[in-house]
Chains A and B, each alone.
Chain A
Amino acid sequence: MSNVLIYVEAENGAAKKSSLEAVSYGAAVAEMLGGKAVAVAAADLSADHAGELAKFGADKVLHFGGTVNQSSEIAELVAAAAQQENAAVVVTAKSINADLAVPMIGVKLKASVATNVTALPDLSNGFVVTRAAYTGKAITQVSLHSNVKVLSIKKNASGTKEYNKTLAVESFNANISASKITVKEVKKQTGEILLPEADIVVSAGRGLKGPENWGMIEELAKTLGAATACSKPVSDMDWRPHHEHVGQTGIKVSPNLYFAIGISGAIQHLAGVNSSKVIVVVNKDPEAPFFKSADYGIVGDAFEVVPKLNEALKAAL
């Protein structure tokens, strides 16, 4: 029992970037264990795109013909696939639906679970994973003892890696029970880069004074191909939608580059962003606490700095 099963979530027919990272992560773990990396996906991944998973390390794809819209359905699909493949480790990228499926899979497979994993496991002494705790104020090493382990990984836990594998795509059948939850309405912004998937995030706070001033933030995000985010008071006041709120009580992001504009850098805000690779802070107050947690800082008025930064980036990129 040394195979690794990876759950792949798709968007518009193609695997999400975070799921491709999960495939590469799973392939690396399979190599360590001497097993195969098997991906499982539902019909949201189109047959054309299923083949691409080999490039990221999958040896095989189990392609389920139906859809799985609810976490309980994902859990049933993944547990059935893990059992068929005798998987020792189940891997998924974090997402709203996968996050809730993970504990359900854990119970179904009598597995130990670690969420928000930030690096490849250490197998030198059992099976030890690294994950953040105390809202990013600590890193913990967690040893998992049960036969089966279920891991949800954060963005940038291992990155993607190119493989040169030949892939077998198999159709997969599982009995999925109908969910007791009825979806009545979905309100989703389309055409935007989703915050948890974004490599670059442009985030702004109360320093922007009002929702009417977000135009320049959106412009900057567009130039960078970035997602937009905000601090908690900004979403509390309805200047921005709630799903953009990052921090201890919001979304936790770990992009390559995080811009914090007019955000003071309260400990609860940092909790959601401090695992970003590089942080740039723009604040008119040289004493703003955020500068202590930044890689690059500019002291200045956002209304002056942001348009200039946007021009400079447009010229350079």
Chain B
Amino acid sequence: MKILICISHVPDTNAKIPFKDGQPDLNGISFVIAPYDDFALARAVELRDETKGKLTVLNVGLADTEPTIRKALAIGADDAIRVNAHPHDAFYVASQIAAIAKQENYDLILMGRESSDFNGGQVHGMVAEMLGLPCVVPCMKLDLNGNVAVMQREIEGGKEVVEVATPFVAGCQEPIAEWKIPNMRGIMSAKTKPLKVVEPVAVENYTHITKYEMPPQRSSVKMIDKDNIGELVRLLREEAKVL
């Protein structure tokens, strides 16, 4: 099976992000594979092993994303493609992925349900629409039976089981697989695995982020004595007016 895993390169989720002049100041912040993409990658490695297939990792990003791509190779991807461009927005990224997928005919295109930087949750749906493929999101279990996938998908208040034949796109979340940590052999072999850099296709940009700011801060917490719970109820009704 020919599998494509698309990853984004995002600030470590523990990082505090300072803002300067309406822009995030990402100096000194370490970057990781976005957590949902990391879940999808872990399952993709297992499916590649099961089907004795080939797993390609794809990232749309400038050269600074290469350590993150190498990490995906260390976790188990066979080769990598970097589309040499700033990932301007979801439509831009999806157009790049679709352009490559059109040439390569992957059986499975996996990624996370959303990135943890822009949290758009759009790329999977756009790629599927551009390629005319079915799309399953959020996929929390994916098993292959020949060319038919049985997937569990989260819905409000529960889950559903769906079946779809390859090729398709899935946006994944836990508990699809356990995050994998690269071992020494993986790290060594990742250094020599092929990483192809391709130039982007031209895409018009429809969106533009004009400003970043800190979310409004809560005023300081009001502490209530545990033996005076009636006071909390009163404050919620009269002060906060939420009851």
Contact = CB atoms under 8 A, between A and B. Distances in A.
Interface of A: 71-72, 75, 95-97, 99-104, 106-108, 111-116, 128, 132-146, 179-190, 192, 194-197, 200, 224, 236, 241-243, 248-249, 256-257, 267-268, 271, 274-275, 277-281, 291-300, 304-305, 308-309, 312-313, 316-317
Nearest to B38: A249
Given A71-B125, A112-B91, A298-B232, A138 B212 contact: yes
B119 A132 contact: yes
Given A142-B209, A249-B35, 18 more contacts: A107-B91, A107-B94, A107-B130, A112-B206, A113-B207, A134-B119, A142-B207, A181-B136, A181-B162, A236-B175, A243-B157, A257-B243, A268-B13, A274-B215, A277-B240, A296-B224, A297-B222, A298-B223
Q: Is the interface of B mostly helix, strand, loop or mixed?
A: mixed
Contacts of A317: 243
Interface of B: 11, 13-14, 16-17, 19, 24, 35-36, 90-91, 94, 116-126, 128-130, 134-138, 140, 150, 153-165, 168, 171, 173-175, 205-216, 218-219, 221-226, 229-230, 232-233, 235-237, 240, 242-243
A308 B229 contact: yes
B175 A242 contact: yes
Contact of B156 (A143, A146, A196, A304): A196
B213 A115 contact: no
Nearest to B243: A317
B162 A183 contact: yes
Nearest to B156: A194
A316 B231 CA distance: 11
A297 B222 CA distance: 6
B108 to A, nearest CB: 14
Contact of A187 (B134, B136, B158): B158
B90 A179 contact: no
Contact of A291 (B128, B153, B205, B221): B221
A143 B230 CA distance: 47
Nearest to B207: A112
Given A103-B129, A133-B118, A138-B214, A298 B157 contact: no
Contact of A100 (B36, B137, B164): B137
Contacts of A293: 218
Contacts of A182: 162-164
Contacts of B126: 103-104, 106-107
Closest 10 pairs (CB-CB, A-B): A103-B125, A300-B226, A112-B206, A188-B158, A103-B122, A107-B129, A185-B161, A141-B211, A180-B134, A146-B206
Contacts of A144: 206-207
B158 A294 contact: no
Q: Is the interface of A mostly helix, strand, loop or mixed?
A: mixed
Contacts of B235: 296
B224 A134 contact: no
A192 B19 CA distance: 41
A313 B24 contact: no
A55 to B, nearest CB: 23
A294 B125 CA distance: 36
Between B135, B138, B163, the greatest number of chain A beta carbons within 10 A of the residue's beta carbon is seen for: B135
Contacts of B118: 133
B31 to A, nearest CB: 13
Given A100-B135, A106-B122, A139-B212, A195 B221 contact: no
Contact of B207 (A143, A183, A189): A143
A212 to B, nearest CB: 22
Nearest to B155: A96
18 contacts: A95-B156, A103-B94, A112-B206, A133-B117, A135-B13, A137-B215, A138-B212, A183-B162, A187-B158, A196-B156, A243-B158, A278-B242, A293-B218, A295-B240, A296-B224, A296-B232, A299-B223, A300-B226
A19 to B, nearest CB: 13
A138 B125 contact: no
B120 A186 contact: no
Contacts of A142: 207-210
B210 to A, nearest CB: 5
B155 A186 contact: yes
A195 B161 CA distance: 21
A305 B125 contact: no
A96 B210 contact: no
A185 B160 contact: yes
Contact of B157 (A188, A249, A279): A188
